[in-house]
Amino acid sequence: DQQVKQNSPSLSVQEGRISILNCDYTNSMFDYFLWYKKYPAEGPTFLISISSIKDKNEDGRFTVFLNKSAKHLSLHIVPSQPGDSAVYFCAASGRGWGKLQFGAGTQVVVTP
């Protein structure tokens, strides 16, 4: 039973524009959310996170928004760059950190 869902398998965006990736979750016990970036044949690398007590966290070009009532979070990348082309995974964790539930990922392609 998939508790973290990324319903868009792919996203194509022009360089310089905004990329918006969406993630929905079903488990209200999740209290920590993370975004990872993954290149082919490599492990995921941490991008940005947000705890359930916040609704926004920003780090450079990356901003994560959390809507707890809707059980929805999104990742905004602006401006998008060709190096951002990768698979982005949304992940969630319960209290105490550790075990992560991952979404299926969204393949982002940034075109020149």
> Based on CB atoms, which residue is closest to other proteins, 72 or 78?
72
Binding residue for other proteins, selected from 21, 23, 44, 73, defined by CB under 8 A: 44
Query: Cβ distance 12 to 109 under 8 Å?
Result: yes
The contact mask relative to other proteins for 45-64 (x = CB under 8 A, - = no) is xx------------------
CA gap 93, 27 in Å, rounded:
10
The contact mask relative to other proteins for 64-83 (x = CB under 8 A, - = no) is --------------------
CA gap 31, 60 in Å, rounded:
23
Residues that bind other proteins (CB under 8 A): 2, 4, 6, 9, 36, 41-46, 89, 96-105
